Amino acid sequence: MDVVYFLFFFLLLVCSGGVKTKTVLEIIQYNNSMRQVSSYIGRHGLSSYFDQQNITAFLPTDRVFRTYHSSVYGYNMSDTVTVESLFLYHLVGRKIQVSDIRDNTTAHSLHPSSYRLYFNILMDGSTKVYSVNGAVLVSTDIIASNGIIHIIDRVIAPVSSAKTLHDYLLKPDMPALEFRSIAMASIIDMELKGNTNNSGYVFTAYAPNDSYLIPTMPEYAKDILYDVSNLEFLKKVVHAHTIPDYVQFLPSSWRSNNKTILHELCQLTNLQGKRGNVCYV
Rounded mean pLDDT of 157-174? Answer: 76
Find the Cα–Cα–Cα–Cα dihedral 32, 93, 133, 176, rounded to 10°.
-90
DSSP codes joined into one string, 204-260: EE----HHHHHHHS-HHHHHHHT-TT-HHHHHHHHHHTEEET---PPPGGGGGT-HH
The correct CATH number of 2-152 out of 2.30.180.10, 3.40.50.1260, 3.80.30.20, 2.30.30.90 is 2.30.180.10
Q: Given pLDDT bands bounded at 50, 70 and 90, which one contains residue 8?
A: low
List, for residues 212-253, the tens digit of each pLDDT value: 777 777 777 767 666 767 778 778 877 777 888 888 777 765
Q: Is the pLDDT of residue 1 over 90?
A: no
Beta strands in 41-134 (DSSP E): 55-60, 91-92, 105-108, 116-124, 127-132
List, for residues 181-213, the tens digit of each pLDDT value: 777 777 777 777 787 777 777 878 877 787 777
List, for residues 98-156, the tens digit of each pLDDT value: 999 999 899 999 998 888 899 999 888 888 899 999 899 999 999 999 999 999 998 88
Domain positions in the chain are: 2-152, 165-273
Q: Are 185 and 213 in contact (CB under 8 A)?
A: no
Looking at residue 158, what is its pLDDT?
Answer: 76
Burial 68-107 (b: 16+ CB within 10 A, else e): beeeebebeeeeeebbbbbbbbbbbbeebeeeebeeeeeb
Burial class from Cβ neighbours inside 10 Å (0-12, 13-18, 19+) for residue 280 reads: exposed
* More confident position, 73 or 11: 73
Q: Given pLDDT bands bounded at 50, 70 and 90, which one contains residue 163?
A: confident
How many whole angstroms separate alpha carbon 138 and alpha carbon 163? 32
| Residues across the chain | 281
DSSP codes joined into one string, 113-142: T-PEEEEEEEEETTEEEEEETTEEEEEEEE
